[in-house]
Structure 1
Amino acid sequence: MPVEDAMTTNVETTKPSIPVTEVAKVMAEKEIGSVVVVENGEAVGIICERDVLDKVVAADAKPGELTAEDIMEASLITTEPDTNILDSVRLMVRNGIGHLPVVDNETLIGILTVQDVLKAMPEFLETLPSREEMERGLGEATGEGVCEVCGEVGESLVEYNGRWICEECLDFLTG
């Protein structure tokens, strides 16, 4: 399945000079977890809830004195609309991100989130543990094999909810 079949097309954007308080208000009002920072029509960064927590709240900074540019993640990782969704999930897992802007010829056309992936591929939900499994812990680790979530060959797979998965997918699924 290509990314364009699962992505959210109505992407909330902001300019680098907008105060963090305004960005946070938009995120709260729209009930979204990220805003893409755009300058001259090009995506130049992203602000996620985690950025607000880490760079404003935890840093005891004054949000009214900060701009989007001050807290955005400028090393923007993107994907393209025709990329296979599993390849994009692997990219998200490898980089520890939950929001992946989708660009076509350097133009922002959407965003792929963990929620989008779960809606489009509900079989991912089958890999999530029940409360009992979480309390029991994970199964034994094994040697090299193929992850049953991402399909990558891993050196050490873990039994998780009856499936053998790699450490990256385990981190992705358990947060």
Structure 2
Amino acid sequence: MIVEDAMTSDVVTAEPSTPVTEVARVMADKEIGSVVVTRGGEAIGIICERDVLDKVVAANVRPNELTAEDIMEDPLITTEPNDDVLDAVRLMVRKNIGHLPIVENETLMGILTVQDVFQAMPEILETLPRRKEGEWEQEETTGEGVCEICGEMKGRLTEHNGRWICEECLDFLTG
């Protein structure tokens, strides 16, 4: 499956000069986890809920004194609409991000989130651990090997439903 088949096309954007209070209000009103920052139609950064928490709330900074440009993540990590969804997921895991803007020829085409991937590829849910009597099942672990989600060589893998997954992918998938 390609990214274009899983992404959300209706991306909420903000200009760099948009006050952080407005960005947060839009995210809350639209019940979304990120806003892409654009300048002249080009995606230049992204603001996620974690950025608001870390760079405003935890830093004890007045949000009305900050703009989108002040707290956005840049450089922006992106992928293209014709890229493979699993490659995009691997990128998200490696970069520890949950929102991946989709850009083609410098034009913002959409955004891919963990929720988008779960909707488009429900079979990936088979890699998640199962609960057993209120507890997580005991999983078998092994030494070094290749993670079946991100494709990276890792020092420790955990088996879930017959697949060997690294700790980073497991954390990413289970929140």
Give the fraction of aligned pairs with identical amino acids, expressed as a percent.
73
Matched, 1:29 2:29: yes
CA distance in 2, matches of 1:87, 1:60: 37
> Which sections of structure 1, spanning at least 5 residues, go unmatched?
none
Is the 8 Å Cα contact of residues 15 and 39 (structure 1) preserved in structure 2? yes
Paired AA for residue 57 in structure 1: V
Aligned to 1:131: 131
CA distance in 1, matches of 2:140, 2:125: 21
- What TM-score results when the alignment is normalised by the length of structure 1? 0.91
Is the 8 Å Cα contact of residues 102 and 109 (structure 1) preserved in structure 2? yes
Paired AA for residue 8 in structure 1: T
CA distance in 1, matches of 2:37, 2:133: 40
> Which sections of structure 2, spanning at least 5 residues, go unmatched?
none
Describe how 1:19-168 pairs up with structure 2 within 5 A: 19-132=19-132, 135-136=135-136, 138-168=138-168
Cα displacement string for residues 58-105 of structure 1 (whole angstroms, at most 9, x for unaligned residues): 111111111001110012100000000000000000000000000000
Count matched residues: 175
Cα displacement string for residues 12-52 of structure 1 (whole angstroms, at most 9, x for unaligned residues): 00000010000011101111000000001111100000000
SS of aligned partner of 2:135 = helix
CA distance in 1, matches of 2:35, 2:64: 17
CA distance in 2, matches of 1:75, 1:69: 12
Q: Tell me how far 1:140 sits from its aligned partner.
A: 3.2
- Aligned alpha-carbon RMSD (Å): 1.9
